[in-house]
Amino acid sequence: MHTCRDCNQSFQTELALELHRDTCQKGQLFCQVCGDRFREAAATQDGWHYECPSEECDGEGIRQDLYHVDDVRTATH
């Protein structure tokens, strides 16, 4: 069983999970440094300063290291 860390939905296959991660409403931030995805709320305390919630990663800043998934999609089109 594969579970989405952001919304806790479970999927039968890793592929199904991957596909879900692209549309998951709760994993809308993307860290360019470690490639992880997480909720916006997980990356900020005050809604102003954002940093990657992963402890081994020092990515920080919206549009510096962290991007909204929607921004990345439009940028690659």
Binding site for Zn ion (CB under 5 A): 4, 6-7, 24, 31, 33-34, 52, 54, 57, 59
Nearer to Zn ion by Cβ, of 31 and 50: the residue is 31
Nearest distance from residue 15's CB to Zn ion, in Å? 14
Nearer to Zn ion by Cβ, of 7 and 15: the residue is 7
Cβ atoms within 10 Å, residue 30: 21
- What token pair was written down for 6? 């952001």
Nearer to Zn ion by Cβ, of 46 and 61: the residue is 61
Furthest-apart CA pair in the chain: how many Å? 37
Handedness of CA 2, 5, 10, 11 (dihedral sign): negative
